[in-house]
Amino acid sequence: MPLLLGLIVFFGVHSLQIFAEDGRGRLIARLGESQFKLTYSALSLIGLLLIIFGYGQARADASVLWSPPSGLRHLAFLLVPVAFILIASAYSPAGHIKAMVRHPMVLGVAVWALAHLLVNGTDADLVLFGGFLAWALVDYASALRRTETDVVQAAAVKSLRGDMIAVVIGLVLSAAFLFGLHDWLIGVPLLG
């Protein structure tokens, strides 16, 4: 139950621009931008904490829905660095990656979720990673329909520097997770 509640809160807050862009604008006007960001951040954090706690609980009682073939693990090892590079490019200076995919954070979340869904076959995994994948795909499609100033600017001022920063950060994060950070944070070693 906490996992589902957390996903509802987290995705609800992050879906305002998808399903209620006008309502989001009115809410910002009513609360003020600072108060809106504070409320948005607080609800996002509450949702994330519920997801983490709920997923831990759900994993303990999870039912196996399928046993992924071992070859999919290799594919996941390739997809996760791509996800980290996409996510890093969202925060790096404008580069070709950001200009090409337009919304690298959301696409990176989709790739991350797909990679995890490929190698995890329990009902808890399906809810968590399937939920993130479905939300990210809907958000990405919605975002592609919107015209955003930062995307237009990113396309205009793209540089190789932004791409190199994203690739280095993405690969360093991937290596950190591969060689122990995933085990330390999640309790699941990736090697061994």
Q: What is the pLDDT of residue 181?
A: 86
Q: Which amino acid is at 106?
A: V
Contact between 104 and 93 (Cβ < 8 Å): no
Regions of the chain short of the pLDDT cut 50: 154
Q: What is the pLDDT of residue 26?
A: 87
Q: What is the pLDDT of residue 153?
A: 53
- DSSP calls for 60-128: HTPPB-----THHHHHHHHHHHHHHHHHHHHHSSS-HHHHHHS-HHHHHHHHHHHHHHHH--BHHHHHH
Of 170, 188, 164, 19, nearest in space to 116 by CA:
188
Q: What is the pLDDT of residue 170?
A: 96
pLDDT tens for each residue of 2-44: 999 999 999 999 988 888 878 888 888 888 889 889 999 999 9
Q: What is the pLDDT of residue 84?
A: 97
Separation of alpha carbons 178 and 180, rounded Å? 6
Task: Count how many Cα atoms sit within 13 Å of the Cα of residue 77 in the half-sphere of its side chain.
Answer: 11
Separation of alpha carbons 90 and 33, rounded Å? 22
